[in-house]
Chain A
């Protein structure tokens, strides 16, 4: 078990900046997810840590020892790339035994490890099968067992579930975390899927355009997003533009274009600033007809999208189209007059982003 630290990592590819000063800290045995949209620099970051790409500037430390000059095989990392490939002509057993064999382990120890790894990924009974005879989920497990069989100190997973069916992903992500925790291995897992991130991580590092935009526990990044982008990327949010008319220790008041006054959390943004109030759709409620809630925006339900546990209601209001995710037994349907409400504690005040709100929210 080792800790991992990266300082000021920079990396460009022919003029395109992939990493723009990344600082990262992962404790021993911690499961950290790097979350961000395509092109954020996630894969480059993993490859740099694995030693497969060399950073232009900055340093990487394992247990406070610099590893910048070490070759990939000297770093003791298990790296599972996005497009891993198993050896098609080798059996499951031989695939998993590949690393230890190449590293010339004594056969007794090698067999013991391979047996243990296959056991862990529930594939002991398929040890003699060839990859083509296995389902996608099983192949993924073999690849994982193969990566782990080298007894690495750090596990690097690049979108490990991307190629699998949505429903299967839900099962396997749980297994991944359980396995990593059982082995106590320090893990970095890269994904673009915020639900996956929330469900497996001890800590989430949100990156965008080569920079860390927020790091914290799943709960922190979800409930206390530091920017409109994070608020909308982890979950979904409504944004209401207005002027911050008053702030005190308990709340802030925002006046919208139409004169409507809404309350949000207290903020360090100075009064009279042009602000945007971000409210997660998960925290919005919708009531039929009128409401006397503190924060209320009346409108009409224009669309209802069912998604199982919850449904998303789109409400047309005079300040734009707003969304709310509500329990799916709420009896509201398209065409109904309704009022969107939310608690002041769920409204987060941000200064209007200098690049404009639309650009600030771009998810790709």
Chain B
């Protein structure tokens, strides 16, 4: 087993474990925003780790160039899509978890005359 295979195997293993954790997270977390957080962070980094590990496993220049382009695109698009979906969910008034402590966005949304999600907990930042 060469060093490249070892590094690639470790990276791929860490990546698939992160993706599995993200999938468990979106089933177990209580509201949309926490689920989007789990999906964006864990799954985004997981895919990046898997792609980097696959580049090591191939060990060729062609695979490395294409996979680094895919990694860059993943790093650019995963946070944006998570943010977009979370903002749409918040604006659509989906309920927050009842243990939500602080909702700083509610102040600005009310100032802009928009409706805010209907929880009684933690509406006002301190």
A pairs with B = no
**Chain B residues proximal to chain A, CB less than 8 Å:** none
